[in-house]
A = this chain, B = another copy of it.
Amino acid sequence: MKVLFGSPGKKSGLILRIGQCVFAAFSIGFMASASGFSSTTAFCYLIASMGLQVLWSSGLVLLDIHALRSNRDLHTNIIVSLFVVGDWVTATLSLAAASSSAGVMLLFTRDTNICKADATLSCNMFQISIAFAFVSWFLLAISSYVMFWLVASI
């Protein structure tokens, strides 16, 4: 099996995973601390999806650290196949969550004046949270492509 940038058990892979975790956690933090998020299903779904991404990526961070410390090779068919399925499911859910929240945000700011009219909504916090979710999804997408490439090139 080839060893690419972002492969499991490599430093580049660990950095990607830590990035996914951190940005997803920031996204949850900003959204959860924004007032009025719970009245919109898309924002609640964003928190759930980013929560799943934090769980998944933090698990892989621990596995990468373990592999780097003990110098073990994670490039086996079963491990990489498991990673690729998890990565793709999480990446699809994250993109869907970030996009649905962005769609609602556009409605709030451009199509209507809900953000201006309702001062209790923390629209800036929503926007920052959605931006972080997109960054987190982008890093996860890179990992997913690397994993898929590894599986396909066996």
Task: Give the size category of A's interface with B.
Answer: 20 to 34
Indicate if the CB atoms of B149 and A107 lie closer than 8 Å. no
Tell me the complex Cα distance, A97–B153, Å: 31
Indicate if the CB atoms of A111 and B40 lie closer than 8 Å. yes
Residues of B within 8 A of A71 (CB): none
A83 within 8 A of B: no
A70 within 8 A of B: no
Indicate if the CB atoms of B41 and A107 lie closer than 8 Å. yes
A56 within 8 A of B: no
Within 8 A of B (CB), among A5-56: 39-42, 45
Tell me the complex Cα distance, A97–B103, Å: 8
A100 within 8 A of B: yes
Q: A92-B95, A100-B99, A100-B100 are in contact. Are A40 and B149 (CB under 8 A)?
A: no
Partner of A152, one of B101, B102, B149: B149
Q: A39-B111, A152-B149 are in contact. Are A99 and B95 (CB under 8 A)?
A: yes
> 6 more A-B contacts (CB under 8 A) besides A92-B95, A100-B106, A148-B148?
A100-B102, A101-B103, A104-B104, A148-B152, A151-B152, A152-B152
